[in-house]
Amino acid sequence: MSSPKLECVLGQIDKLPMKLLGIDHIVLRTIDTHALERFYVEVLGCTVERRNETIGLTQLRAGAQLIDLVSVTGKLGQAGGAAPGRGGRNVDHICLRVCDFDVDVVAAHLQAHGVVLGEIGERYGSTGLARSIYLDDPEGNHLELRA
């Protein structure tokens, strides 16, 4: 049974011409597509879904969603302006939903891959309160792994 708060939100959604299901994909412009792909595949467990070398696009599967990597030297990436860097970001952070996890085990795994961890804590997200870990990918994009 839905809570009154949820019913209120669902009632508002029923008035819209569309219903959002969640994040479909996120596009990251990248300087080094291969390094970023290795990070998302080898460290975080994404899989390569498709490649389109003609436009400089690699699509990674992250559960039901995609993370698209676009080379700044490719057709799509050139349209986005300057390359990403520490002084300016293309994305604030990406929150990836993860099955319940042991924070210590995940933290050790990330550190074994040279990942510097950010804040670990309980935060509110689309499914309520849950534990999460902040980290950066090799090009400085902020990530949140959320149980």
Written as one letter, the residue type at 130 is A
Residue 9 CA to residue 85 CA, distance in Å, equals: 38
Residue 57 CA to residue 33 CA, distance in Å, equals: 9
Rg (the chain; Cα; Å): 17
Would you state the pLDDT for residue 8?
47
Work out the percent of the chain whose per-residue pLDDT is above 90.
31
Mention every residue, 6+ apart, whose C-beta is less than 8 A from residue 85. Answer: 140
Q: Is the pTM of this model over 0.75?
A: no
Q: What is the pLDDT of residues 59-78, one digit of tens each?
A: 999 998 999 998 888 887 77
Query: Residue 67's Cα: distance from chain center in Å?
Result: 7
Assess if CATH 3.10.180.10 describes domain 4-146.
yes
At 19, is the secondary structure helix, strand, or coil?
Answer: coil
Q: Are 51 and 72 in contact (CB under 8 A)?
A: no
144, two tokens: 């949140």
Residue 88 confidence (pLDDT) above 50: yes
Residue 36 CA to residue 42 CA, distance in Å, equals: 10
Q: What is the pLDDT of residues 92-122, one digit of tens each?
A: 689 888 887 788 888 999 999 999 999 999 9
Domain segments of the chain: what residues?
A: 4-146
